[in-house]
Amino acid sequence: MTPVRIVEGRAIPLGRKNIDTDVIIPAHYLKTISRVGLGRGAFETIRAEPGNLFDEPQFARAPILIAGDNFGCGSSREHAAWAMLDMGITAVIAPSYSDIFSGNAVKNGIVPVVLPQAAVDRLLEVARDHPITVDLESCTVTTPFQDRFAFEMDPFRRECLLGGLDEVGMTMAQGARIDAYERGAAADRPWLSAA
Partner 1 sequence: MSTKPRTLYEKIWDAHVVDRRDDGTCLIYIDRHLVHEVTSPQAFEALRLAGRTVRRPDLTLAVPDHNLPTTPRVDAAGARVPIADMESAQQLAALEANAPSFGIRYIGATDAAQGIVHVVGPEQGFSLPGTTIVCGDSHTACHGGIGALAFGIGTSEVEHVLATQTLLLQQSKTMEVRVEGTLGFGVSPKDVILHIIGVIGAAGGTGYVIEYTGNVFREMSVEGRLTVSNMSIEGGARAGLVAADDLTFAYLEGRPMAPKGADWDAAVAWWRSLATDPGAVYDKVVTIDAGDIAPSLTWGTSPEDVVAITGAVPDPMSFADPSKQEAAKKSLAYMGLTPGTRMQDVPVDSIFIGSCTNSRIEDLRAAAAVARGRHVAANVRQALVVPGSGLVKRQAEAEGLDRIFIDAGFEWREPGCSMCLAMNPDKVPPGDRCASTSNRNFVGRQGPGARTHLVSPAMAAAAAVTGHLADVRELVGEAA
**Interface ranges with partner 1 (CB under 8 A):** 16-18, 20, 22-23, 26-28, 30-35, 44-45, 68-70, 73-79, 81, 96-100, 103-104, 107-108, 154-156, 167-169, 171-172, 174, 177-178, 181-182, 185, 188-195
Asked whether the beta carbons of 70 and 92 are under 8 A apart, the reply is no
Give least dist CB 109 to partner 1, A: 11
Nearest to partner 1 of 150, 180 (CB atom)? 180
Nearest to partner 1 of 21, 143 (CB atom)? 21
Handedness of CA 87, 62, 122, 49 (dihedral sign): negative
**What's the rounded Cα separation, in Å, for the pair 143 and 133?**
6
**What's the rounded Cα separation, in Å, for the pair 188 and 10?**
55
* DSSP track, 160-183: HHHHT--HHHHHHTTHHHHHHHHH
Give least dist CB 99 to partner 1, A: 5
Give least dist CB 100 to partner 1, A: 6
- Torsion angle of the four alpha carbons 100, 105, 108, 113, in this order, in degrees rounded to the nearest 10: -150
Nearest to partner 1 of 63, 72 (CB atom)? 72
Nearest to partner 1 of 55, 167 (CB atom)? 167
DSSP tag of 32: -
Query: Which residue type occupies 17?
Result: K
Asked whether the beta carbons of 69 and 96 are under 8 A apart, the reply is yes
Give least dist CB 90 to partner 1, A: 16
Give least dist CB 118 to partner 1, A: 13
Nearest to partner 1 of 27, 60 (CB atom)? 27
